[in-house]
Every structure is written in structure tokens, then in C-alpha cells.
Amino acid sequence: MAKATWQNATVAESAHTEQVEGNHYFPESAIRKEYFQPSEHTTVCPWKGTAHYYDVVVGGQTNANAAWYYPEPKEAAENIRGYVAFWKGVKVEG
């Protein structure tokens, strides 16, 4: 079971994740949506496509752009469509 935590809150948990470039991608159904707010931030990966971001918010504290996902991944990254990954201090175990 993989688990993502920040500020002592479990923000995602799943028995099935996709691992890409050392990151666990959690199914969107495994994230606890109450901790996520859409961000306007985007980045581009040459082989995965355009990443969109969420701010992770726990106990009134915001971790800006701490989660990302690819709503329209390129063909090579189709396995992470509908999945969310973390960084910026979000601890992922599993």
C-alpha cells in the first residue's frame, strides 16, 4: 500500500500506483480531494506532455504546486492518465 502524507495528513493512499521516473503516481480516486486545490501552474515534459498542478492544503497551510497530473498525456505516458504524483515535501511511502 502506497501512502502520501503532508503535515501529518494522509492525502492519498492506494494499493496500486504507477511508477515513472522514481515517482509513485496515485489513481485520482485514491486522493483525498478535500486537501487539493487547482493551481494555474503548468510545466511541459517532452515525452509525457503538459503537467497541471494542485496545491496541497492541510490545516490552513498551503504547499503550492505539490501535486501534478497529466490530463492529456502523450502516448508514451498513457499509463499515468488519471493519476497524480507528489513532490515538495509530500512524503510518499510504499
Threshold 0.75, pTM exceeds: yes
At residue 29 the predicted structure's pLDDT band, cuts being 50, 70 and 90, is very high
Tens of pLDDT, residue by residue over 54-85, are 999 999 999 999 999 999 999 999 999 999 99
List strands edge to edge, sheet with 91-93. 9-14, 2-6, 91-93
Look up residue 14 and give its amino acid. Answer: S
How far apart are alpha carbons 93 and 10 in whole angstroms? 11
Quick one: pLDDT at residue 23? 97
- In the chain the domains, ranked by start, together with CATH numbers, are 2-93 (2.170.150.40)
* Termini Cα distance of the chain: 6
How far apart are alpha carbons 31 and 21 in whole angstroms? 20
